[in-house]
Structure formats: structure tokens, C-alpha cells
Structure 1
Amino acid sequence: MTFHPWMVLLVCNWCVAIAFAILLLNFYKQIQSWLTVIFSILTLTFILFFISPNLAIIVSTILWFLFLFLPVFGLYWIQFLMFRGSYDRARQLAAIVRWLHPADGLVELPHLLKALTLAQRGNIEEAGNIFKSYQTSETAIGRTVTALFYVTSDSWEDLLIWIRENISDRQLFGVNNLVIYYLRALGETGNIHALLQAVERLTPEFEKRQSLIPLALARMYALAFCGKSDSLGSLFDRPLRRYPKNIRQFWMGTAKLIEGKEQEARQIFDAIPHQSNTNLQQAIARRLSRDFQATSVQLSDGDREICDGIITAVEQEKRYGSALTVANNRAYCSYILIGLNLAVFSLQVLLGGSQNIPVLIQLGALIPEAVWEGQWWRLIAANFLHFGPVHLMMNAIGLYIIGGFVEKTLGTIRYFGVYLSSGIASMAVITILSRFIEFSAKITVGASGSVMGLVGATGAILLWGWHREKARIARQRFQLVLLMVGLQMAFDLSVPNISFIGHLSGVIVGFLITLMLMKWVKLPD
């Protein structure tokens, strides 16, 4: 049996990427066992490759799948379920994952999730007994457990005292969960100044780690305890849109209460389904108590500046954060274009096959000589033809992922104009250069030029946001676009029959057209 060398490359790249990310983010002391697994797989693969390449591929692929892919994928879903408050389902999954990677707290995780489930159902004493068996200030898992003990018992003052007496700044700010509990404790006890200062300090660190959910939660606490309900709603529209609805309502009610809108807050709290969540019942009762209602927020000029900065960042992330994602659900023009490409592809199949050269020529494949002879319509038609299902699928996926953000920003008509202009321009550049350069491919088809034009358009929008609004999220996404374009160009140059010229010209044209259009575009709120 012969295996493809790219499987070894995949395993090695995955391992190196994870190891690099861990070292880059200074996580070594917390998850050193992951590094041990990674370097063990790499070492074994290297040794076996000199003995038997096929054996190296089989063994490394199996080890990668069992001890890296499945645990990482499982941890992602455990964190997602915990984020949603589904502690019992997270516990069931953790009981499986811990056997694949029995280190870094995963052995204890099912027990801790059981305690959280019990606390959620009101069995505080039984949950506390589980927490107490793991409490310590010496290990990361022990510190997290101790904090959870105070959180589930609603003892926010005691949590702050314990942190101040036992936890160093490095320990506190080095673990996402612990610092999130700390931030909430500051808000619950009325230390708004300290809360805002901590959020400002933590923001660059969260961004460096790509800890987007902890960053969103930190901002949620800051906005809620400052009574900024409008901006809190923007936060719930995107990064926290999958946060449980009852928890979102709870924090919106909190913001309304601090804002002085007591009647609206009570209506929100009354509408929250909390019968099965004792912790939430206690939290709502605490909000409606006279002590909490008497709380008033007096922000200094410095605190107000930090709060305004958080509001600006939330609005900018709502505006630019969906770039290169599938978060936008109203990309109607993108869906129509995908459908049109599918319809034309079906016609290709009916007429004789999607890879049938005479059929492609008949339907409008780009032939530079034919264009020079007057068949200009091929510059348009070639953008809707594809050479095989894989070619179509790749362009459709690219259009689906990239198109939504550009369409939302530019509007449907401008978006379609950029898409079509980029495709036509890429075909035109190939046609013109064919007079001076001999291309290996005699015909050119595909929406790749148009899709790459949307990549260029995305870069233009993000560059505009970075330059005009000083939006950090726009800068980060723009750098990602540059990386994507660089990788695409490297791939084009290394693979035969891929139109490097078409892709590059599409990016440039899409970028320039969008940059000119941005002067007349009203950015969506």
C-alpha cells in the first residue's frame, strides 16, 4: 500500500504549528504535556521515516489523530458547552477526552464539571465538597477550583480577599478563567475603577493570545457594571451571540438597573427562565436587592475614557470582525452568485462534461486569440465556467466565506460590481499578456479572479478602517489578508495550470476599486 507524502507533511505541520503557538503565547508551564506529545510524535515520525516511509505515515497519522486532533477537537467542544452553561454534557465529553490526554487537569475536569452541574442545580453543599478536595493555591487547576468555590457560593468579597492574599499578578493574569472570575468579583463588589483598569491592562494580552471569548466577557462586565446597555447589545450581536440567552438577559438587566432604568430591568429579569438554575435565581435576587439597586456608578475622567475606548472597540469589532468569516447570514448576492455558478456547471455537465474542452469553448472559456478577434463576451462568460467539481467547490467556498463581509459593507450593487469587474479584469490581463507571454494553458475558466477580487476588497475595507478609525481589529484582519494573499501566490507559483496572473490581477483590481468606493460608502453600524 502506498501513501501520499503530504500526509506526513500534514502531521508535521500540525504538530509544529501547535508547538509554535504554545511557545509563542508563553503557555509552556501550563500545558507542557501537549508539547511532550507533539515532540514525541515528530521524533517518532522522523525515526520511522528512515526505516519505512509508509510505516512512518501510518503511525504518525494514527498518533496525530488520536492524541492531538481528537483531544483538541474535544476540548473545543467542552469549552463551548461550558460557555453555554451545559456543564453536564461537557462532563460526559470530558470523561472521554481525558483518556486521550490524561494531563494538564483533564483527569480532574469531569469531577469539576460534575461540581458545576450540582451547583447549577442548587446542590451547593455537595458541589462545595468536590471543590474543597481540589483547592490549593499551588497549581493552576487548584487556583481555578478555589475560585469556582467562591463563585458558586456567591462570595465575591471572599474571592477578592483570597486572590489578594494568595495569588500573584502573574498567576492571576496568566489564566483566562481565573482572571474572568476576578473581573466579575470587582464589578459585583463595586470596584469599577479597578475593573476598568484591569480590562484595559488585559486587552492587549487577550488579543495576543487570540482569547476572543475571555476578552468579550471582560468587556461585558465592564459595560454592564458601567450601565452601558446599548453597547452591551452590540457585544451580544457578535462575539457573545452564542452565549446562553438567559445569561445575556441577566447582564442586560444588570446594565439597565445600573443605568437607572429599574422598571425595564425588572421586566427583563422577570422574563428570564431560571427555574432550573439556582445560581441564576440567586444572582437575580441579589440584583433586585436594595443594596445593589442603591449602587451608583461615578466614573472619573480616566475611567470614562477607558469605558469609551471599550465602547469604540466593541463597535469596531462589530463592523470589521466578521471579515474572513461566515458570520454574516444576509449575503443574498453571494448566494445568488453561487447558485448561478452551480447552474452553469450543471449546463456544462448536461452538454458533455465539466472537463470537456469543446463544451467549455462553446460556453465561453477564455481564449485570448478569440477575444482579440472580437469575442469580448468570453471575458465575462469564462468567470462562470469551472473545470471539474473541485474547482467549483473551492470557488464557491471562497465566495461563501469572503463575500458576506464585503456585501454587507459595500451594499449589493457595489459588491456585484467589484465581483464582476475583478473577474473581467483578470481575464483581460491574461488576454493582454498573452501577446507577450506564452501561457501553458490554452483556455482559462473559473471565478477565481472574482473571488480574489473580493479578497482584495476585504483588504481595502480593513485598510480603510485601520487608517481612518485606528481600529485594531481592522489592522489584525488586514494582516491576515496579506498572509492569505501571500500563501495563495506561493501556491499558484508552485502548482501547474493555476493562473497566478489571473489571481494577482483580481486581488489588485478588487483592492483598488473598493478603495475608491469607500469614499461613498456609509459603513454599517
Structure 2
Amino acid sequence: MGQSIFIQALGRPATTVTCAMLGGIYGYITAKGIGYDQVGLSHEKTLGRWEIWRIVTAQLSHVELLHLLFNLTTLWSIGDFEASDGFAAKGGVAYYVQMSTILLLLSGVVTLALYHVLGVLLKREQYLSVTTVGYSAVIFGWMTILAVSGSASFSVFGFGNIPMYLTPFASLVLTSIIIPRASFIGHLSGILVGFLVATEVLDWLTLWWLASLLAWAAAFGVYHMVRTGRLDVPWLRMLHQDSGDIETGSPAVHIVGGVLERR
């Protein structure tokens, strides 16, 4: 049995690494006593406080063991695609990383957009404080991609197979039953982004463009953290030539006669 699992792991390296990463992050979160509020995705914290990093931390984090095991099992079942001949034709591991990254980032953005519509436009204010965690949106996105691409069936935890086109919706219902606290909006966001990927709407997001957008997003995030005093990078503070930092209250740094002066 162990040898069989080992051989499967070698045949799906990207899935194996992802499962190990999610398990490792769960172990760290559990050891540190980190909860939903510290890593989760919510409209109130992500947009209200501009903690954009939550789009990433929320989806890579699991606070409950049952949620983690459910996601790992489902992700491993989807990994059959990685061991197929069609996977190599699409680009292999690079394709897996590219699509998973797109699903992770865009599903987070879509989730926030839906929370904004529900909470702000439709006045359902409870959606502004809902906090979600877990890799489920990416998994639901992959299910949708495989369903649209014509994959025949999906193994349900090894007990049987269901038609692939029913998988995203069957899993949506099953997850809601097994894990009542699971985010319906988050899972739906994964399905929507999965359809965009599968219908080639996002084909322009190559690895180069994706890396470029991530670099700009990271630069903006660091700049914002410096401006709000959450990150101290002195050489970035020197770029401000105004009378002071309005957001942090820090005095501006000026160069006078080759000497740094604070005003």
C-alpha cells in the first residue's frame, strides 16, 4: 500500500508538493494558535483595512483538521489529471502552477466582489464580516476546468465515480453538509473562475504576465504597508519629499547639503 502511494506521489509531483505545503501550514497555524481573524479573508479586513495579503493567506490556511483532510483528499483525487497524458501536452507542472495561482488569486478577488455586492449594494451587512479560509476555491476551480475539458469522471474518496460535469456542484452540496461553516460564496467563486480559465478567457495570463502582475501587486503592498506604518523600510521613507507622512504621522526625510534631516 505504501509503495502504491509513493508511486502515485512521484506521478503527480505538483499535487504532492501542494498537499505537503497545505499540511505544513496547518501544522504551523495549529502550533502558533492562529485563528480565522488573523489569516482569513473578509471584506471588512481585506478591503476595509487594505490587508490585501489575506487573499493568499486565507486560501493556503486551514484552521480545522476536518476541513484540511477534506480538501487534501479531494485535491489528491483531482491529481489523477496530473498523471494523465493530456497533462504533459498542456505544459506539465508549469501549467499546474500557473492555473493554480490564477485560481487562488482571482477566486479571492471574486469572493470579495460578491461580498461587496451582497454587503454594500444589497445591504446584507453580515457578509461584510464573514471570514473564510481554505484551499477549497482552487479545488473547485480545478474541478470546473476538468469538467469543461471533458474529463469522464471523478473519484469520490475512492468509493465510486460521478460524471465530471456534476462534480463541482455535487461537491458544493456535499461540503455544505459535512462542513457547515464552509463558505458557499468562496466555493462558488472558484467555480466561476474555473469557467473563465476553461473557456480560455484568461489565456493571456501567461506565466510572464502573471509574474509581472504579482511583482507589481507585491510592490504596491509593501509601499502601502510602509505608508501606514506596518512595515519599517527607511530607504522607502526617504522617497517622501512632502512635509510629512499624513497616514503615519512620521516626519519626512530631506537631504540638505548631503546630510539627512527630518522635518
Indicate the SS of the match to 1:439: helix
Distance 1:342 1:500 in 2: 23
Distance 1:413 1:499 in 2: 29
Provide the residue aligned with 2:14 in structure 1.
333
Indicate the SS of the match to 1:513: helix
1:351 shift after superposition: 0.5
1:404 shift after superposition: 3.7
1:388 shift after superposition: 1.3
Provide the residue aligned with 1:477 in structure 2.
153
Q: Is the 8 A contact 2:196 2:202 kept in 1?
A: no
Give the residue type in structure 2 aligned to 1:369: E
Provide the residue aligned with 2:55 in structure 1.
379
1:510 shift after superposition: 2.0
Q: Residue 328 and residue 346 in structure 1: after superposition, are their counterparts in 2 closer, same or farther (change >3 A)?
A: closer
Q: Is the 8 A contact 1:453 1:508 kept in 2?
A: yes
Distance 1:327 1:499 in 2: 30
- For residues 151-190 of structure 1, the aligned pairs below 5 Å read none
1:436 shift after superposition: 3.1
Q: Is the 8 A contact 2:103 2:137 kept in 1?
A: yes
The match for 1:423 among 104, 115, 132 is: 104
Structure (1 or 2) with the greater helix fraction: 1
- For residues 440-459 of structure 1, the aligned pairs below 5 Å read 442-459=130-147
1:406 shift after superposition: 4.4
**Based on CA coordinates, which of the two structures has the bigger radius of gyration?**
1
1:417 shift after superposition: 1.9
Distance 2:12 2:144 in 1: 18
Provide the residue aligned with 1:346 in structure 2.
27
Distance 2:13 2:117 in 1: 40
Q: Residue 345 and residue 454 in structure 1: after superposition, are their counterparts in 2 closer, same or farther (change >3 A)?
A: same
1:385 shift after superposition: 0.5
Q: Is the 8 A contact 2:43 2:128 kept in 1?
A: no
Provide the residue aligned with 1:504 in structure 2.
188
Q: Is the 8 A contact 2:30 2:63 kept in 1?
A: no
Give the residue type in structure 2 aligned to 1:436: V
With the length of structure 1 as denominator, give the TM-score of the two structures: 0.31
Indicate the SS of the match to 1:512: helix
Indicate the SS of the match to 1:446: coil
1:519 shift after superposition: 8.5
Q: Is the 8 A contact 1:422 1:507 kept in 2?
A: no
Distance 1:519 1:444 in 2: 28
- For residues 47-126 of structure 1, the aligned pairs below 5 Å read none
Over residues 331-367 of structure 1, what are the superposed CA-to-partner deviations in whole Å (9 max), with x where a residue is unaligned? Answer: 1111111111111111111102xxx53xx433x2212
How many aligned residue pairs are there? Answer: 177
Distance 1:452 1:508 in 2: 9
Give the residue type in structure 2 aligned to 1:344: I
Give the residue type in structure 1 aligned to 2:45: A
- For residues 120-519 of structure 1, the aligned pairs below 5 Å read 329-352=10-33, 356-357=34-35, 360-362=36-38, 364-372=39-47, 373-406=49-82, 408=84, 409=87, 410=90, 411-437=92-118, 438-439=126-127, 442-462=130-150, 474=151, 476-477=152-153, 480-491=163-174, 496-516=180-200
Indicate the SS of the match to 1:516: coil
Q: Residue 379 and residue 429 in structure 1: after superposition, are their counterparts in 2 closer, same or farther (change >3 A)?
A: same
Distance 1:440 1:517 in 2: 29
Distance 1:385 1:519 in 2: 28
Q: Is the 8 A contact 1:422 1:510 kept in 2?
A: yes
The higher relative CO (CA closer than 8 Å, separation ≥ 6) is in: 2
Q: Residue 427 and residue 518 in structure 1: after superposition, are their counterparts in 2 closer, same or farther (change >3 A)?
A: closer
1:493 shift after superposition: 5.6
Distance 1:480 1:518 in 2: 25
Provide the residue aligned with 2:225 in structure 1.
none
Distance 2:142 2:174 in 1: 18
Percent identity for Structure 1 against Structure 2: 23
Distance 1:394 1:430 in 2: 21
Give the residue type in structure 2 aligned to 1:429: V
Q: Is the 8 A contact 2:107 2:189 kept in 1?
A: yes
1:483 shift after superposition: 2.3
Q: Is the 8 A contact 2:44 2:128 kept in 1?
A: no
Give the residue type in structure 1 aligned to 2:108: M
Over residues 91-134 of structure 1, what are the superposed CA-to-partner deviations in whole Å (9 max), with x where a residue is unaligned? Answer: xxxxxxxxxxxxxxxxxxxxxxxxxxxxxxxxxxxxxxxxxxxx
Distance 2:16 2:71 in 1: 12
Q: Residue 328 and residue 376 in structure 1: after superposition, are their counterparts in 2 closer, same or farther (change >3 A)?
A: same
Indicate the SS of the match to 2:127: coil
Over residues 187-206 of structure 1, what are the superposed CA-to-partner deviations in whole Å (9 max), with x where a residue is unaligned? Answer: xxxxxxxxxxxxxxxxxxxx
1:384 shift after superposition: 0.9
Distance 1:511 1:488 in 2: 16
